[in-house]
Amino acid sequence: MAISVFDLFKIGIGPSSSHTVGPMRAAATFAQALREQGVLAQVSRVEVRLYGSLSATGVGHATDRACLLGLMGEWPDQIDPQSIEPLIAQLQQSQVLMLDGSRAIPFDCATDLLLLDESLPYHPNAMTLEASSATGSLLQQTYYSVGGGFIVEAAQVGEAGNGAEQVQLPYDFDSAAELLALCKQHQLRVSQVMMANELAWREEAEVRSGLLKLWAAMRECVDNGLRNEGILPGGLKVKRRAAKLHRSLQELGKPNVIGSTLSAMEWVNLFALAVNEENAAGGRMVTAPTNGAAGIIPAVLHYYMKFNPDACDNDVVDFLLSAAAVGILCKKNASISGAEVGCQGEVGSACAMAAAGLADVLGATPMQVENAAEIALEHNLGLTCDPVGGLVQVPCIERNAIAAVKAINAVQMALRGDGEHFISLDRVIRTMRDTGADMHANYKETSRGGLAVAFVEC
């Protein structure tokens, strides 16, 4: 299974990669299939059926709206977030859906978009779309949103890679041990191994420009988060904090009295809060590798770029490539889906990825990079996914800030050593997988356990 850095980092919208980006892509893919099969003009009705976690927290994660937008032919990396409210309002008022942007059909959300209290066997995030004409069914497809915006059609279940592109890589690896062996054999850094693999898909100039485009989107997301104020949507009345915190940090005439480390940590917190507040508001952001954990990697990268006077674009490229190497290992050998393994798969994976990226650009050896990722992931094991109200707000926003700081600390610890350590990254990833399998479904993005039920609304 060949996974590209651009599979793990994708420009999209909030608030969730598995519950918003994935379902929108699935619905848009379905609408596109109707057009390509030449049956679009015959469609008189479309029914959307959401199962498992997509049903349990779908409204809070905007899954319902994502499905509608996808059916309209909108894609998460292309849609203008400012157009979403008018499009949804128009559909709700007229009860007419412009399928694939061109075919007008009646659509009543109460009867045509169903939240079902059942699950399908392959993955908790499942959805079925069926298009019918006056004479019967035209097309029915089941999709699984498996985390990070990845979608798998039911027909692909069981196939090698679950629909991931099959490409021959020069330095293919399925474990951290294999990655370290490749680095040692060819005298390459982790980022250099990843760049060589990326060249199997595209030219180096395109890789670099693509990664810098992702970085620009991350910076824009932070800037928007620092500017926007008010109450986040959804009913919890969570106040945005990033803009106020930014003003207070700008007013500081000197570093924190205890030292520059704590002052820097506040900036890391700020960057993570800014991204995840934008995500919670449905803004434009980058899945890294998911939306729920999207603030960690940008926060750590911003930290490096702000506090290192010698930082440059090459560092951005190497950071994201090394981070992606760890993300690939987590996706291949465990999961990055909160609905599948809890938040350890989202925040834990992102924390490990950020640690790997920072370690690489700070000159760490491959063994130290692996050690940094292992420390970061190890101390997120067992983390549950229990969003209050099914919204990606509490505890998700603060959780990103804490994990970003944890990633930096993991790097500091790894750089103080020689790369030798007791537990390998591979073992920690397997433990994350096994812990997720043992974890009760109430703690895996269903909002039926943990903090989600501890919150009492007054």
Would you list the DSSP string of 186-251?
A: HT--HHHHHHHHHTTTS-HHHHHHHHHHHHHHHHHHHHHHHH--SB-TTSS-PBP-HHHHHHHHHH
User: Do 358 and 220 belong to one domain?
Assistant: yes
CATH number at residue 98: 3.30.1330.90
Q: Which of 52-66, 156-170, 178-192, 195-209 has the lowest mean pLDDT?
A: 156-170
> How confident is the model over 419-425, as a mean pLDDT?
93
For the segment 355-368, the average pLDDT, to the nearest whole number, is 98
Q: What is the pLDDT of residue 382?
A: 97
- In degrees and rounded to multiples of 5, residue 114 shows phi and psi of -105, 130
The mean per-residue pLDDT over the stretch 234-241 comes to 95
Count of the separate structural domains present in the chain: 2
Inside any domain, residue 182: yes
pLDDT, mean of residues 420-447:
96
Strands (DSSP E) along 244-363, which ranges? 284-287
Shared domain check, 237 and 134: no
322 with 381, same domain? yes
How far apart are alpha carbons 117 and 217 in whole angstroms?
A: 37
Same domain, 295 and 415: yes
Model confidence at 259, in pLDDT bands (50, 70, 90)? very low
Regarding whether 156 and 180 lie in a shared domain, the answer is: no
Residue 211 lies in a domain: yes
Q: Is residue 169 part of a domain?
A: no
Strands in 150-153's sheet, in edge-to-edge order, are 113-115, 45-51, 125-133, 136-147, 150-153
Verify that 39 and 108 share a domain, yes or no. Answer: yes
Residues in the chain: 458
Split at pLDDT 50, 70, 90, the class of 163 is very low
pLDDT at 159: 63
3-state SS assignment for residue 45: strand
Burial of 9 (0-12, 13-18, 19+ CB in 10 A): buried
pLDDT at 332 over 60: yes
Q: Does residue 255 share a domain with residue 400?
A: yes
pLDDT given for residue 290 in this prediction: 97
Please give the backbone phi and psi of residue 257, each rounded to the nearest 5 degrees, phi first: -60, -25
Residue 210 is part of a domain; what is its CATH number? 1.10.4100
- Dig out the tokens for 159 from the structure: 């196939």
Q: What is the mean pLDDT of the chain?
A: 94
Domain that holds residue 186: 176-200+202-454
* Mean predicted confidence (pLDDT) in 217-240: 96
317 closest CA partner among 186, 411, 210: 210
Q: State yes or no: pLDDT of 253 exceeds 60.
A: no
Using the predicted structure, report yes or no on whether residue 27 has a pLDDT greater than 50.
yes
> Look-up: residue for tokens 């073992």?
427
What pLDDT is attached to residue 256?
A: 46
Q: Are 96 and 213 in the same domain?
A: no
pLDDT value at residue 197: 98
Structural domain contains residue 432: yes
